[in-house]
Amino acid sequence: MTRFFAQQTDVTSGQIRLSAEDAEHIRVLRMRPSERFIVCDGAGLDYICRLGAGETGVVEIIEVSETKGEPAIACSIYIAFAKGDRLEYAVQKSVELGARDITLFLSERCVSNPGDTIKKAARFQRIALEAAKQCGRGLIPEVMVAESFNCAIERAAKAELPLFLYEEEEHFRLRQALEESSEAETISIVTGPEGGFEPHEAMFAKSVGMISVSLGPRILRCETAPVAALAAIMFHTGNL
């Protein structure tokens, strides 16, 4: 069924008020009053709805159920800015795999200059919204831009299992980290740009508590690494 999101404040007794954009989308889809669709409140509830007979944009609630699309583990993804559509791919697939939130940051070897970060964040938030609708998420992951590399790393280090994916790591792999921290409920994943991380960036990450891990002997592209790591974590924790 087609999926929409609404604010909790827009859910009233037996009805939900959709945004003007979603109401227009329903008109474009030419939905009939008998057709059902899902409206998620972003807080764990899915509402099976149909078009109301009255005001445009107000739909009738038929059934209510708990959202099944959210993983039991909270994974925050930190991705260095990349050029072209690489970042778009990484954001979209991270949402599909269950990322709780996504933070974009600049590091020294970034090839891409993000320019207007507010506009960039808004664009990627839109991508996250569409991906969340498509894959049946129960919330829309927030896409943020960190003030600096250090700010991103310090925030990532607060997770119970803070993972720094470093291409120069030779001894400690992602699987080992997951096996040693099987009880962790919050995980952060930090991945670098096309050129990887500078050694001093990796040293800073370790100094604030990040765990340097490898994804194996092959060097993955910057858009592949966060997706591969997140998929591995979701599988290991039984969320895939």
Backbone angles phi, psi at 122, to 5 degrees: -65, -40
Query: Do 102 and 184 reside in the same domain of the chain?
Result: yes
How high is the pLDDT of residue 23? Answer: 87
Query: Do 19 and 104 reside in the same domain of the chain?
Result: no
Query: Do 107 and 142 reside in the same domain of the chain?
Result: yes
Domain span including residue 42: 3-66
Sheet holding 15-17, edge to edge: 3-5, 37-40, 45-51, 58-66, 15-17, 11-12
pTM, two decimal places: 0.89
Confidence of residue 30 (pLDDT cuts 50, 70, 90): confident
Count of structural domains, the chain:
2
Query: Do 44 and 148 reside in the same domain of the chain?
Result: no
Out of 37, 66, 95, pick the residue that ends a domain: 66
Amino acid at 23: A
Out of 18, 37, 66, pick the residue that ends a domain: 66
- Measured distance CA(32)–CA(14) in Å, rounded: 19
Strand 45-51 and strand 58-66: the pairing is: antiparallel
Per-residue pLDDT averaged across 217-236, rounded? 95
DSSP 8-class letter at 69: -
**With 0-12 CB in 10 A as exposed, 13-18 as middle and 19+ as buried, what is 179?**
exposed
Q: For residue range 79-134, list pLDDT tens digits in order.
A: 999 987 999 999 999 999 999 999 999 999 998 777 878 888 999 999 999 999 99
- Given a contact cutoff of 8 angstroms between Cβ atoms, the answer to whether 144 and 156 are in contact is no
